[in-house]
Amino acid sequence: MKRLSEIKFSTLDLVPVRENGSAAQSLRNSLDLAQHVEKFGYNRFWVAEHHNMDGIASSATSVLLGYLAGGTSTIRVGSGGVMLPNHAPLVIAEQFGTLESLYPGRIDLGLGRAPGSDQMTARALRRERSGSADDFPEDVAELVRYLGPRTPDQRIIAMPGTGTNVPVWLLGSSLFSAQLAGERGLPYAFASHFAPRFMHEAIRVYRNHFKPSAVLDKPYVMLGVPLVAADTDEQADYLATSVYQRILALMRGQSLVQRPPVKTMDGLWLPHEKEAVGDFLGLAMVGSPQKIRAKLEVLIEQTQADELIFTCDLYEHADRVHSYELLAQVMKG
């Protein structure tokens, strides 16, 4: 049985843009957060590719990773993830090969098979490319080849990229990538920070299909977890209303810019919307360190996860930093 102090813990930053804020400030906040969590002992700092969303500033994921890696020194930085259907595998191999060449031993390449946007935006991204989620298994294999050792008959190489062996992760919110990650012997990250309903089934599918590879000799599971830690349960509940408003806006198709916390959500959501937000955030750790420790111990007992990656979308940057600081104290025991 794993103890909490044995579990690696990481950060997934959605680079949130505040109401009346700017993308520039959000990007600076992301680096500041990475520098703080590096000091707090976090294992990795990931950002995710999203497009056409006014409240998320991480669309140019590989560019942002260069900024983050350049401003930190030990923490791993990576994508959680790059949405591979939007890109030619060779382009991603060159981008992450460049990052690995500049910051050796610190780069992760997490891959998703969703577009990370709406279909109209996906078409705008691809233009003449016929990229599709259906191509994902072949695209992953092609990308892994570009990052691996060069073979004598290889006619197309990624430069930089070839021979860098950047660690590739598969990400998912359903069972498809769980099975594929298992069959390929790759580490697997499940998006339980927004799709907790399928978490246990996805872990089971991944472990049941796992085949040892040159990368891993046994399964490695990382779970996404929403976080709102504060000094008291009451303060955490108050800060969490910013998160609730953001998820509610997502469900309504409204602007995703961060809104300040409110004393009560009454009147802001309908009963069925409150239930839907609750389902979305079913794995959320909201509360004081004592409350969060108890919930995390249950999560580890139930899943035997190897690593947890936390996302914390609070309105005030200082509250986010403090939340991650409190969590680090919990995780270290």
Q: What is 198-238 written as a DSSP string? A: GHHHHHHHHHHH----SS-SS--EEEEEEEEE-SSHHHHHH
pLDDT at 208: 98
User: What is the arithmetic mean of pLDDT over 104-118?
Assistant: 85
User: What is the arithmetic mean of pLDDT over 66-94?
Assistant: 95
Question: What percent of the chain shows pLDDT beyond 70?
Answer: 95
Max CA distance (Å), the chain: 66
Residue 265 has pLDDT above 60, yes or no: yes
pLDDT at 222: 98
Global pTM exceeds 0.85: yes
Residue spans of the domains in the chain: they are 4-227+305-331
pLDDT at 114: 77
Please state, rounded to an integer, the average pLDDT across all residues of the chain: 93
For residue 195, what pLDDT band results from cuts at 50, 70 and 90? Answer: confident
- Strands, E, within 88-199: which ranges? 107-112, 168-172, 188-190
Inter-helix orientation angle 199-209/289-303, to 10°: 40
Lowest pLDDT segment from 41-50, 193-202, 226-235: 193-202
CATH number corresponding to 4-227+305-331: 3.20.20.30
Residue 121 has pLDDT above 90, yes or no: no
